[in-house]
Chains A and B, each alone.
Chain A
């Protein structure tokens, strides 16, 4: 019952957080003049004569709190507004872009986590040895590489030099056409998964080929984080009494690490992994632009710079939900991994 209480409390927190983040955005919105926001609807200087009309249509000159309540009212009617950056209703645009980003995350997150854990523990076990130094420096180098530079260089080599081996975009022309034809059922709208569900292996292979470079880019840039946390918590675990005891009892060092240290060290990594998706958004923005894989990151980055406020609000809502839900899952996982932790 404690558990149920806990979940309910967390969901209430979700509401608080969602209201909070949207209020923050609306406060931010007060910084813009109505005309400035209306200019998001305009791409050409010749359309500027209609600015007053746009302001009126969207009530952009009303006080911010009134705009906030109007927006809330709309949300409850299922209307998230109009995204000027992609000329679609926000909710349609979200449905369209989400699968692309999810696919990228689904493929890169496991690699980041597994490889990060592996390198991190390797580095901890060999603390202050050349292996440790080498992996740490390498991870930091990967982290501080400018994402866009790395992505473009990869593209130059594996697309330009190797003649279209790993191309940009989400699918090749033929696959894209086929995926959108009537013969192909889009169950999840995630290309690689749909390809398998439809039994179209060639589309699956095509999707994977298009995923290789973005996944590598994201991995190289993000792996340092997981690696560093794994390393430090591993070091901590290795210094714990029971590990030392086990060692004193004569157990082989390797067994001790595998059996005792690593299991405990994984706990903080779970936290980070839960956060990974949110953290990846930053990398995704640039990756999606470079590889022309249009997804949430690409959309929201443009929205934020073009004052497409309804889209930014969607970004904020989505992130808020993601944050609270992953925290919840992480806490539950904690309780599972570490029996000493109790929910409450």
Chain B
């Protein structure tokens, strides 16, 4: 009797799945959709092939979205969403990283048209009339002023506001290391001012890349009225400190949006997706595609299958999987897209030996390395000759990358193309190792640990190449490789515990300053972790950012590139080329290196 029940249950389940099987064949009819108005421009020609979800673009990638507040969203995953909902005063034209066109402003300021004054210390923007926010309110100069001041007042941890502080107030942020507010409200208030229909920016010093910073999402314009109604800073000095650095999730626009951009926020489901819908009142004309879904699919195979099935239109593909995506039916690939990002190997000039297992014995006794191991330039040279750049690019990037000579990557202005690269040459490496530390290193050997963060295959391959090539020179050279979590990796770098490390930089804005500062200035992100300090380099960098004259700037950055080669605080290993994979029913895409692989959905059309 019981057995029968079991069998019945099983049969029932089987039938049930068959039933859904059959139903599936019919395609799970959706209910009649509410009639929608056709977009203004709609192609009448019937699509030749069947398109899935014709009025929606679905993209899939990975990465945690942290916040939708433009003054907090710094990471690429958050920035991608923000970018589609807000506009800035100006924008880069199409794929260009130099030509700036007006957006909310009527004109792009320049010295020529008199809107940049005082030797680059004053920028004037006339705000275009008639541009509407998603709620129908018109953009006013007060909104623009409020947006920048609110960004500086809020200045949340992990946010991008340093880019606004630096040109306007000449400081890196609103707080010191202990969390005390160090800026004066008057400075913030005076930095951006309204003058009739104009907004005037007063810079502390000339800052050539300022316009480039204004094109980006952290310069987005928000609606003052909406913000205040939703509990944001009210625009006055009273209590402004209260609004400084809110806890994560308490920033006003954390899960809301009120911009002027082509898409409005529909829903944000944590870890799953963000849905956007078209803003029909967009001032440049409504977007072609009605809905946008930005999905998060962490597992590559799943993502790939969804893409090949046509259920997603845009897929993020890690470079190791590019070959298998080629020659797929119905897939369009945009290839060889130049990025403004690089990666390098860094030497630590003053390794922190405290509780540091990476230096082993901590002495030059064959069982470890001393803290100042890399201060000998011969060691730095020797290591630099130990990486086979061609094989590295071929294996780690499948050939889709270049080896840059210095931090200023290809695609940036003022880049010296003639700086040499230290070639793979084990003979030279051996020679330098023999010279290093008066021959002691060669005689006694050394032992050190290189770390990389788990899951980063490119860094890992670089570490392994260094390990294997260095170890092949002398049996007394011992290198250990350890993969650690991102957090631990960062900590080890910041505590200066890594003897050498591999990491990269992605451009915030297309200017050499954005690269030489972290790489070479003694207070820059990487150089600080390395304890690399060259006063000549520091002063050149400080001059470079205050110089407006292009010829003089060129000189400065050429010199810096040369100093990078001579000093070898590290060496560059890659500047990658990117690819974008979309279904071929999407058209209109163009690449802009500043945007990188973040999608600006306004440009797309869906249909054959």
Contact = CB atoms under 8 A, between A and B. Distances in A.
Interaction A to B: yes
Interface of A: 33, 35-37, 39-54, 56-57, 82, 84-89, 92-93, 96-97, 111, 114-115, 117-118, 152, 155-156, 159-160, 163-168, 172-175, 177-178, 180, 200, 202, 205-206, 208-209, 212, 258, 262, 289-292, 294, 298-299, 305-307
Contacts, number: 187
A85 B494 CA distance: 22
A45 B308 CA distance: 33
A159 B30 contact: no
Given A43-B64, A173-B293, A205 B21 contact: no
A212 B6 contact: no
Interface in B2-34: 2-3, 6, 9-10, 13, 16-17, 20-21, 23-24, 28-31
A191 to B, nearest CB: 13
A108 to B, nearest CB: 11
B56 interface: yes
A258 B4 CA distance: 11
A292 B30 contact: no
A292 B299 contact: yes
Contacts of A173: 53, 56, 58, 293, 311
Interface stretch (B243-251, B379-387, B464-472): B243-251
A160 B308 contact: yes
Given A118-B6, A165-B21, A258-B2, A45 B490 contact: yes
Contacts of A56: 178-179
Most chain B beta-carbon contacts within 10 A, residue among A118, A200, A299: A118
B270 interface: yes
B327 to A, nearest CB: 17
B14 to A, nearest CB: 11
B301 interface: yes
B315 to A, nearest CB: 13
B574 interface: no
Interface stretch (B118-126, B481-489, B581-589): B481-489
Interface residues of B, number: 74
B247 A86 contact: no
Interface string B256-284: 00000000000101111001000000000
Nearest to B16: A208
B66 interface: yes
15 contacts: A43-B63, A43-B64, A44-B74, A52-B177, A56-B178, A87-B64, A96-B270, A114-B6, A118-B6, A167-B309, A173-B311, A180-B275, A205-B20, A289-B299, A307-B485
B66 A294 contact: no
Interface of B: 1-3, 6, 9-10, 13, 16-17, 20-21, 23-24, 28-31, 53, 56, 58, 63-67, 74-77, 157-160, 162, 172-173, 175, 177-179, 245, 247-249, 267, 269-272, 275, 291, 293, 297-299, 301-302, 305-306, 308-309, 311, 485-488, 490-491, 494-495, 503, 505, 508, 525
Contact of B64 (A86, A165, A172, A206): A86
Contacts of A205: 20, 23-24, 28
B411 to A, nearest CB: 19
Contacts of B20: 205, 208-209, 212
Most chain B beta-carbon contacts within 10 A, residue among A117, A167, A177: A177
Contact of B157 (A41, A86, A163): A41
A49 B245 CA distance: 14
B489 to A, nearest CB: 9
Contacts of B159: 47
B24 A165 contact: yes
A263 to B, nearest CB: 9
Contacts of A51: 494
Given A43-B64, A86-B271, A155-B302, A206 B157 contact: no
Given A43-B77, A46-B74, A205-B24, 4 more contacts: A88-B270, A167-B309, A202-B28, A289-B298
A35 B28 contact: no
A48 B526 CA distance: 11
A305 B454 CA distance: 11
Given A45-B503, A53-B175, A164 B309 contact: yes
A39 B486 contact: yes
A304 to B, nearest CB: 11
Interchain residue pairs A-B with the least CB separation, the first 8: A39-B487, A86-B270, A50-B157, A47-B158, A118-B6, A174-B30, A86-B271, A88-B270
B19 to A, nearest CB: 8
Contact of B75 (A44, A49, A82, A93): A44
B154 to A, nearest CB: 13
Contact of A42 (B158, B172, B299, B302): B158
B249 A36 contact: no
Contacts of B495: 35
A96 B157 contact: no
Contacts of A163: 309
A172 B297 CA distance: 14
A249 B175 CA distance: 89
